[in-house]
Amino acid sequence: MAGKLNLDKLDYQIIQHMMEDAEISYADLGKKLFVSGGTIHVRIKKLQEMGIVKGTRLAVDTHKLGYTVIAFIGIYLEKSSLYDSVAKDLMKIPEVVRLNYTTGNYSMFVEIACKDINQLRFVLHDQMQKIKGIERTETLISLEESLNRNIQVATTEG
Amino acid sequence: MAGKLNLDKLDYQIIQHMMEDAEISYADLGKKLFVSGGTIHVRIKKLQEMGIVKGTRLAVDTHKLGYTVIAFIGIYLEKSSLYDSVAKDLMKIPEVVRLNYTTGNYSMFVEIACKDINQLRFVLHDQMQKIKGIERTETLISLEESLNRNIQVATTEG
DNA sequence: ATTGAAAGAGTCTCAGT
DNA sequence: ACTGAGACTCTTTCAAT
């Protein structure tokens, strides 16, 4: 399956640090990890070539941007073979930010981000209910996000 | 509540572009959006001061790093007043990457990232079951992530 | 593989508009 | 507010180890 990685402690430390803050300079990160800036550069280049590092992204406070209503929707399909078709329709809804095919209670699990409850209602009733193949849905509205963090790789050793 | 934002189309275009790729230079992004690099710089600085932009993060392929098992856990609490205490215990588990307090079927909703099914079982049976206040849990294992994207702000107009 | 220094590219500041 | 140019900082390359 997945090829062997052969990453060492330094690689994992670089990944961990820059997942949390990619603005630090190679020189400064090198100082923290007791190597030169040039070594940080070489390692990041290697991680990019391996496809592990995929670039950098601006971190944005979505709540401050007005997306105050986060909801998770569990979806029951009429037939599980309808997954691809339903997924395609769901992706057309801009408020849908995440979509997983799951085992367990639901066949699909979706996350949506809306600006208010009216927009949530619109997405649920006017957009999702029209999609062919959805039997019914269950909505969980997030009242509070207590944690949203990266995976913890720094202690991994190969 | 939330103060008025007063962002214009250019602000939203900058946010949208850099949420997807923060490596582009201000000069190049300015060319795309028909302003100078200096203007991009001023806008980003403003967005940082407003707390909307919170920095940049390294984007990593967690699947390639070995975290192949993503699961969502719905949690039923014995009493909903136990939320804070249970949340505190859940945060101690490194595999827990996200934690929401929710309305609907479950009281809490958790996402975990594991390297294999055995680690998932360990987290579920040995770590989560020992937490006081959890009545029972339901697990959804993600068989496929079809979509994981940012919110779409580019068409917003203030 | 790592280092340190030079070359190249990007950010940041500011005077002018 | 936006621009463009200069000062400054960071990334990237490379010869030496």
Smallest CA–CA distance, residue B90 to chain A, in Å, is: 10
CA A26 to chain centroid, in Å, comes to 26
Where are chain B's structural domains?
Answer: 9-49, 69-141
Evaluate whether B9-49 and B69-141 have a shared fold.
no
Which of A59, A106, A152 is the closest to B54 by Cβ? A59
Q: What is chain A's pLDDT, residue by residue, as a tens digit (158 residues)?
A: 556 789 999 999 999 999 999 999 999 999 999 999 999 999 999 999 999 999 999 999 999 999 999 999 999 999 999 999 999 999 999 999 999 999 999 999 999 999 999 999 999 999 999 999 999 999 999 999 999 999 999 876 65
d(CA A137, CA A71): 12
Task: State whether the Cα torsion A60-A61-A67-A73 is positive or negative.
Answer: positive
**Does residue B55 belong to the interface with chain A, where contact is any CB pair within 8 Å?**
yes
| pLDDT tens digits along A113-141 | 999 999 999 999 999 999 999 999 999 99
| pLDDT tens digits along B13-41 | 999 999 999 999 999 999 999 999 999 99
Find the distance separating the first CA and the last CA of chain B, reported in whole Å: 16
CATH of domain B69-141: 3.30.70.920
Q: Which of residues 4-33 of B touch A (CB under 8 A)?
A: 5, 15, 18-23
Q: Which nucleotides of C are covered by protein (CB under 7 A)?
A: 1-5, 9-14
Level-2 CATH architecture, domain A9-49: Orthogonal Bundle (1.10)
Helix (H, G, I), strand (E, B) or coil at B103: coil
Contact criterion met (CB < 8 Å) for B60 and A15: yes
Contact criterion met (CB < 8 Å) for A142 and B100: yes
Is B158 a residue whose pLDDT tops 80? no
Q: pTM of this prediction?
A: 0.95
Residue with tokens 């690689």: A11
Tokens, residue B40: 């991009």
Residue with tokens 């990593």: B60
